[in-house]
Structure 1
Amino acid sequence: MSESMHHHQPLAGKVAIVTGSGQGLGLAYAQELARRGAAVVVNDVNEDVAAAAVASIEASGGRAVAVVAAVGSSEAASALVQGAVSAFGRLDILVTNAGILRDKSLLKMTDEDFDTVVNVHLRGTFTCGREAFAYFKEQGVAGRIIAIGSPTGQYGTFGQSNYAAAKAGIVGMIRTWAIEMKRSGVTANAVIPVAATAMTGTVPYFRPAVEAHERGEAMPAFYRHDLGFGTAADVAGLIAYLASDEAGKINGQAIGAGGDRLQLFSHPRPVVTVYAEGGWSYERLSAEIHEHMDGQLQSVGEVFPPLPAELSPIEAR
Structure 2
Amino acid sequence: MSLTGKVAIVTGSGRGLGLAYATELARQGARVVVNDVDQQVADDAVAAITGAGGEAVAVVAPVGSTETAKALVAAAVESFGRLDILVTNAGVLRDTVLWKMSDDDFDTVINVHLRGTFTCVREAATYLREQGEGGRIICIGSPTGQRGNFGQTNYAAAKAGIVGMVRTWAMELARANITANAVIPVAATAMTETVPFFKQFVDAAARGEQMPPFARRVLGFGTPDDVAGVIAFLASDAAAGVTGQAVGVGGDRLALWSHPQEVATAFQDGGWSVDQLTEDFDSLFGQVLQSVGQPMPQPPAEKPADAPAAQKVEQR
1:120 aligns with 2:112: yes
* Structure 1 match to 2:295: 303
Of residues 184, 187, 190 in structure 2, which corresponds to 1:192?
A: 184
Distance 2:5 2:191 in 1: 35
Q: Deviations over 1:203-259 (max 9, x none)?
A: 332122112212212100000011100000000000000000110100000010000
Distance 1:269 1:79 in 2: 38
* Structure 2 match to 1:15: 7
Shift of 1:31: 0.1
Of residues 120, 130, 151 in structure 1, which corresponds to 2:122?
A: 130
SS of the residue corresponding to residue 193 of structure 2 reads helix
Q: Matches of residues 121-270 of structure 1 in structure 2 within 5 Å?
A: 121-270=113-262
* Structure 1 match to 2:273: 281
TM-score normalized by structure 1? 0.94
* Structure 1 match to 2:41: 49
Contiguous gaps of at least 5 residues in structure 1? 1-8, 312-317
SS of the residue corresponding to residue 137 of structure 2 reads strand
Residue type of the partner of 1:27? L
1:24 aligns with 2:13: no
Residue type of the partner of 2:80? F
1:91 aligns with 2:83: yes
Distance 1:255 1:11 in 2: 20
Residue type of the partner of 1:283? D
Distance 1:40 1:296 in 2: 46
| 8 Å CA contact retained: 1:142, 1:186 | yes
SS of the residue corresponding to residue 9 of structure 2 reads strand
1:40 aligns with 2:32: yes
Shift of 1:306: 1.2
Q: Deviations over 1:166-225 (max 9, x none)?
A: 000000000000000000000000000000012322333212211221221210000001
1:104 aligns with 2:96: yes
SS of the residue corresponding to residue 43 of structure 1 reads strand
Q: Which moved more, 1:61-70 or 1:198-207?
A: 198-207
RMSD: 1.1
Shift of 1:92: 0.2
TM-score normalized by structure 2? 0.94
Q: Deviations over 1:53-87 (max 9, x none)?
A: 00000111000000111100000000000000000
Distance 1:201 1:307 in 2: 18
Residue type of the partner of 1:267? H
Contiguous gaps of at least 5 residues in structure 2? 304-316
Q: Which moved more, 1:173-182 or 1:211-220?
A: 211-220
Distance 1:21 1:205 in 2: 26
| 8 Å CA contact retained: 1:175, 1:253 | yes
Distance 1:246 1:186 in 2: 13
| 8 Å CA contact retained: 1:255, 1:264 | yes
| 8 Å CA contact retained: 1:205, 1:307 | no
Distance 2:140 2:255 in 1: 14
Q: Report the identity percentage.
A: 66
Distance 2:48 2:134 in 1: 29
Distance 2:132 2:192 in 1: 41
Of residues 56, 59, 82 in structure 2, which corresponds to 1:64?
A: 56
Distance 1:300 1:57 in 2: 40
| 8 Å CA contact retained: 2:93, 2:191 | no
Shift of 1:310: 4.5
| 8 Å CA contact retained: 1:18, 1:43 | yes
* Structure 2 match to 1:74: 66
